[in-house]
Structure 1
Amino acid sequence: MKKTIVVILAITSFVFLSWKVSTPADSSIGATHTLEQFKNGMDNFVLSNEQLHSAVGNLNPDSATIAEARKALVECRLSYKRIAFLTSYFFPSETRFYNAAPKFEVEEPTLELVEPMGLQQIETLLFDDDVLAQKADLLVQSEAMLSSAGDMHALLFGIQITDAQVLESVRIELIRMSALYISGYDAPMLKSGIAETLEATNAIRDVLQPYFATHPEQSRSFEILLANSQNYLKAHPHFDSFDRMAYLRRFALPMQKEFRDFVAALGMVINTTKYLNYEAPYIYSKDALKGWENDSIAPPRQKALAEMGRILFFDKSLSGDASTSCATCHQPQNYFTDQLKKSPSLVRDSVLKRNTPTLLYAGWQHTQFWDGRVASLKDQIHNVIFNPLEMNGNEASLNRNVLLSDKYRTLIKASFLDKNLRECGIGEVSEALTVFLKQLSPMNSPFDRYIDGEQTALTDRQVNGFNLFMGKAQCGTCHFPPFFNSLLPPLFEISEVEVLGVTTTDDFENPQLDPDSGRFDLYKMKYYKGAFKTPTVRNAAQTGPYMHNGSFNSLAKVVDFYNKAGGRGLSLSVEEQTLSATPLNLSDHEAEDIILFLESLTDSNIEKLTFSN
């Protein structure tokens, strides 16, 4: 492990020293000031790493030394959060290991392994049952961090940055704060997320001072919100009791909206991201993200494709024996599920391998199926239609029995312009169904209405449930806003998979590990054994039974499973479990509040989504 880290650092240092560009322009408003703040932040980060390394070296059987090392790690994390938005924006590949996930990451498609390293891995080791046994690894990790931090100034060698880039880095950090930092995503055991959010806020305010000074009228609303946010974070530092909903509604989301308007007023809008829509007010807005399938289709064709997809969705002729449509298992009246543990297959007296998930919000994932084996809805549709266990369709029957029928003739001409009808097949069917499925994202639940300002849309207990979900219960560290699925903020470029140690039934007194290997069946990497995609919990109150195998019959059992810390918490052998093996210690009342919050994520008028526009 030590050799690996040294190699990574050597490569990184080479990249640092090889990069030479011109100096910043003198005409900038705040770019030069930002670089100075960055340099000061780097110095503080080096100092905090020195103190952390010293504290790790002092570890001994006295428990006070462990407490000191954890305190030093908190300070190191705080110093990192003062510069994190700049390092993440300007140097994402060179600095990502500072705060990488504390687990082996598999780089696809090469299947190269990235070892756990950095601040999160140090946290994991400092909270091990036997910290002293981890001292050697802790020293390796802290030495690597210290060495790399010392090289950080080389990042700035000749660099040129613009005001627009500075402002975009702040915009992205505001999303990070509201979606990740307050949930404790990268410090779940230290529970330093609120303090880290404050440090990030302080850093943003310092960096933006020149912009406020030169544009006082345009910046006034945002600057007031920023200052009030600082005061609120200072006054409410305790992680478990922090009112995340109040923070979001009063400060974080209004700041995103005001900052959008501020940057637009300055005429400095740039968007270097693939999926963020900077015209949306905030990250919980329905249009916060740009789609990644069929997103640039002209409106008339889009409408025709959606209508064609809607009709196809209910058409049993898609299946080989004309017995099964998409709606057979994905029933609109049941929130696009069938409420079965596992759906029947086309082979008599057999069932499919996994539970049928809802199609609501399915378009907002970068991988499809429980094991993430395909990268798009189009590929998923192709797979399902031709799968002999699911629909058993074929290309010839699609053209002869489906696409050449009178009910599709006009729609195909409008959807595929001058294409010969006899040339149409699974590609056209998949595209039309994809456009229809992308519409199944209503975001009109009581939660959404509350976020948008409808004060009576949620009860106090549902608000508390959200605060627990995004805090003490750690649900929000895997079910990310705004879709509460595996789509990772702030850039939403990847969908994560997790190993939970799911059991065969919800009898936790006599637990047995489910034998389904999940993503391991695709890639024979032990870190994928039992790995599955994290589904949305929007509409979860209506889409049971739960988990990839349909083994949990109620939300109460789901919450209880997580409260008990998954398979490992139930004393099962789940070597690569990514879910923390530390019980959550939720009270019965707290568990009930989380369920009440999940019920508030239930959308209304679902069946109307299948009507023609």
Structure 2
Amino acid sequence: MFQNKVKIFIVTSLWLTILCIVLGLKTGNSSIGVANAIDGFKTGTAAFNSSGRELKTAVSLLSARDSSTLINARLALKRSRTDYKRIEFFMDYFFESSSLIYNRPAKTEVDEPYMEYQEPSGFQVMEAMLFGEDPFAQQAALLEQADLISSSAADLNALLYGFEGTDQEVLESVRLALIKVITLSITGYDAPELKSGIEESWQSVAAIRQVLQPYLKSGIAAGQQSSPTNSRPGIQPETLSKTIAETLAYLKAHPDFDSFNRMEFLTGYALPLQEQLGGFIAALNLDVNHKSALNYQAKNIFSPDAIPPGAFGGAAAKNDLKAALGKRLFRETALSGNLQRSCASCHREQQYFSDGLKTSLAFDGKNFVQRNAPTLLYAGFQYAQFWDGRVKNLQEQIRTVIANPLEMNGNHAVVITGLQQDSAYRKEFLKAFPDSAGNPVSMTNLSDALAAFIRGLAPRNSAFDQYIAGNKTAIDAEQVKGFNLFMGKAQCGSCHFAPLFNGLIPPLYKRTEYEILGTPANDDFDRPQHDQDQGRFGFFPIEYYKAAFKTPTVRNAAMTAPYMHNGVFKDLEKVVEFYNQGGGAGLHMEQPQQTLSAKPLHLSDDEMHQIVVFMRSLTDKIDQ
């Protein structure tokens, strides 16, 4: 089946190539830099085609009798990946489905809501095999992947037939490429074994520079002033060019992955570059957002307004009246079946909206619910709610919790009837929902109000946030080291993605990630016991979701112990140790679908401590 798919792709690509030759390439628009971007893509595909052939040759020469052949294959993989990074921004933006061939994660993914399996393919699959236990035994599978890469790379220019991209789209593609560098490449997200993320980041930024050349010239000719719709000052082309050059120089001078100072890179180079690029695009009046959930008017990706809460099934604009009503409802015991429990029973403000228990006390006051009550801080910034992601927004989660016999055991109709009899509530609902004059007190409005309150639980005022915004005394040197480890060697940032450090996948921030970690039922790593919770499998009973759980934020993690879906770990030190050992599979538990690498991270005690103190720097100041 897989080989047939490859043949179909190759035949289709060849057919398109013939059409290109016969009919000629057309872009269909007059522009500043589209033709330049296409030329850069063609140059990049030529280099990628060449290194793809070299990769196939290197894999074909693998021999267990000669260890140098393995080294050569790994180096060939690195070269091919590096060449691909010069065209990745263009592939990801304009030819997304084709790009999945080359750099898909080395695990079977499920394309929701269609529930189609996406087979692993490309570089990441090859990396996993080349750094696996017996790479020589994987030669046939490696050759299949190498053949797929080299064969399809030879016909990439066929994708350009009928291409009609615009300047706005080209500039959005490089904008997203820079965000990918900031949030993924420097973490080793797609090359954890090769550790080539810094060199690949250089290639990505170099591609950005090449694409921007005609726009920089256009900016000089236009005098480069602020646009009427842009509140940021106009960015001089010379300033932007200088910052790009300095960013490239820094990456070139510090290629080692483990020792790379990510904090210095971000605060001194990448984030200023993102700010200047955004201002430059806006000043040219070429802003467009066709792809992402981001607010491009934000200063940079770490700005509090970079990811708007309205992207997650909520209101587009903040509504103080709804949030105020939601805050009152949050403490309202009339939402429960016994008039004694409220949302605040399990999400206590003084405990950072968690409850300090392994799993929360059930409605009967004697038993416990299945899973740990996570903090509600930043809970609104996810595309799925509950640990297993079984509902898509806060409103649905609220209605589910109220009705759940183990949680609040409230009858929706009874709850609404009770609130309707309260004149103060009727007035507050009417103020918050003036368009519902006929029936303001409803379960829909109640869940909207509570959701508005929860979406507002995103202070973004931690010591880390202050530091990244320019206060260089907000965190100390040890916490900076911890951040660099978190985003690098420890690979935490490749699942807990910046800036929210949860499972929202950059650079588009349109999907929530689930991971299988092999979390045990106990915290004895010498005698770990299997946890029986099947996670997302209970909602979607497919093999790849067994024991899969949503990736929560680690913001405020220092204040919300215990940890994991079952509350098994009492402190952050134990959590970091668990990851350091390679999760459940690293503890020699049978976890065939584990998405976390089973390889130990080899973090020292000092390094693990530094990661913990960094996470403490993510603690917000909240109103008590």
TM-score w.r.t. structure 2 length? Answer: 0.94
1:176 aligns with 2:194: no
Alpha-carbon distance change, 115 to 8 in structure 1, aligned in 2, over 3 angstroms = farther
CA RMSD of aligned residues (A): 1.9
Deviations 1:583-604 (A, max 9, x none): 0000000000000000000001
Q: Which residue does the alignment assign to 2:134?
A: 130
Q: Which residue does the alignment assign to 1:47?
A: 50
1:483 aligns with 2:503: no
1:232 aligns with 2:236: no
Question: Are the aligned partners of 1:21 and 1:160 in contact in 2 as well (CA < 8 Å)?
Answer: no
Q: Which residue does the alignment assign to 1:60?
A: 63
Alpha-carbon distance change, 395 to 206 in structure 1, aligned in 2, over 3 angstroms = same
Q: Which residue does the alignment assign to 1:2?
A: 2
Please show how residues 289-300 of structure 1 align to structure 2 within 5 Å. 289-290=307-308, 291-293=310-312, 296=315
* Equivalent residue for 1:391, pick from 397, 404, 408: 408
- Aligned-partner Cα distance in 1 for 2:132–2:15: 34
- Aligned-partner Cα distance in 2 for 1:14–1:553: 58
* Equivalent residue for 1:253, pick from 271, 274, 281: 271
Question: Are the aligned partners of 2:395 and 2:451 in contact in 1 as well (CA < 8 Å)?
Answer: yes
- Aligned-partner Cα distance in 1 for 2:24–2:190: 33
- Aligned-partner Cα distance in 1 for 2:257–2:420: 57
Question: Are the aligned partners of 1:404 and 1:421 in contact in 2 as well (CA < 8 Å)?
Answer: no
Question: Are the aligned partners of 1:2 and 1:140 in contact in 2 as well (CA < 8 Å)?
Answer: no
1:36 aligns with 2:35: no
Deviations 1:386-420 (A, max 9, x none): 00110011122212212431221221111222535
- Aligned-partner Cα distance in 1 for 2:549–2:302: 25
Alpha-carbon distance change, 462 to 133 in structure 1, aligned in 2, over 3 angstroms = same
Question: Are the aligned partners of 1:276 and 1:288 in contact in 2 as well (CA < 8 Å)?
Answer: yes
Q: Which residue does the alignment assign to 2:149?
A: 145
Aligned with 1:344: secondary structure? coil
- Aligned-partner Cα distance in 2 for 1:497–1:134: 28
Alpha-carbon distance change, 449 to 12 in structure 1, aligned in 2, over 3 angstroms = farther
Q: Which moved more, 1:267-276 or 1:555-564?
A: 267-276
- Aligned-partner Cα distance in 2 for 1:231–1:274: 29
Instruction: Quote the offset at 1:209 in angstroms.
Output: 1.4
Aligned with 1:494: secondary structure? coil
| AA of the residue aligned to 1:3 | Q
Q: Which moved more, 1:78-87 or 1:216-225?
A: 216-225
- Aligned-partner Cα distance in 1 for 2:54–2:571: 48
Instruction: Quote the offset at 1:509 in angstroms.
Output: 1.5
Aligned with 1:339: secondary structure? coil
* Equivalent residue for 2:123, pick from 87, 110, 119: 119
TM-score w.r.t. structure 1 length? Answer: 0.96
Please show how residues 435-584 of structure 1 align to structure 2 within 5 Å. 435-584=452-601
Instruction: Quote the offset at 1:158 in angstroms.
Output: 2.7
1:214 aligns with 2:213: no
- Aligned-partner Cα distance in 2 for 1:14–1:365: 41
Instruction: Quote the offset at 1:427 in angstroms.
Output: 1.1
Alpha-carbon distance change, 388 to 126 in structure 1, aligned in 2, over 3 angstroms = same
Q: Which moved more, 1:553-562 or 1:258-267?
A: 258-267
Alpha-carbon distance change, 11 to 361 in structure 1, aligned in 2, over 3 angstroms = farther
Please show how residues 262-273 of structure 1 align to structure 2 within 5 Å. 262-273=280-291
Question: Are the aligned partners of 1:309 and 1:432 in contact in 2 as well (CA < 8 Å)?
Answer: yes
Question: Are the aligned partners of 1:519 and 1:529 in contact in 2 as well (CA < 8 Å)?
Answer: yes
Aligned with 1:283: secondary structure? coil
Q: Which moved more, 1:141-150 or 1:569-578?
A: 141-150
Question: Are the aligned partners of 2:257 and 2:488 in contact in 1 as well (CA < 8 Å)?
Answer: yes
- Aligned-partner Cα distance in 1 for 2:332–2:218: 61
* Equivalent residue for 2:296, pick from 261, 265, 278: 278
| AA of the residue aligned to 1:188 | P
Deviations 1:563-609 (A, max 9, x none): 000001000000000000110000000000000000000001243xx
Question: Are the aligned partners of 1:101 and 1:186 in contact in 2 as well (CA < 8 Å)?
Answer: yes
Instruction: Quote the offset at 1:321 in angstroms.
Output: 0.7
Aligned with 2:41: secondary structure? helix
Instruction: Quote the offset at 1:385 in angstroms.
Output: 0.4
| AA of the residue aligned to 1:544 | A
1:417 aligns with 2:421: no
Q: Which residue does the alignment assign to 2:86?
A: 82
Q: Which moved more, 1:476-485 or 1:94-103?
A: 94-103
Aligned with 1:292: secondary structure? helix
Q: Which moved more, 1:191-200 or 1:343-352?
A: 343-352
Aligned with 2:294: secondary structure? coil
Alpha-carbon distance change, 128 to 452 in structure 1, aligned in 2, over 3 angstroms = same
Gaps of 5+ in 1: 608-613
- Aligned-partner Cα distance in 1 for 2:478–2:12: 49
Question: Are the aligned partners of 1:243 and 1:467 in contact in 2 as well (CA < 8 Å)?
Answer: yes
Q: Which residue does the alignment assign to 1:610?
A: none
| AA of the residue aligned to 2:9 | L
Misfit runs of 4+, over 6 Å: 17-22
- Aligned-partner Cα distance in 2 for 1:472–1:478: 13
Question: Are the aligned partners of 1:22 and 1:160 in contact in 2 as well (CA < 8 Å)?
Answer: no
| AA of the residue aligned to 1:9 | F
* Equivalent residue for 1:288, pick from 286, 302, 306: 306
- Aligned-partner Cα distance in 1 for 2:522–2:348: 25
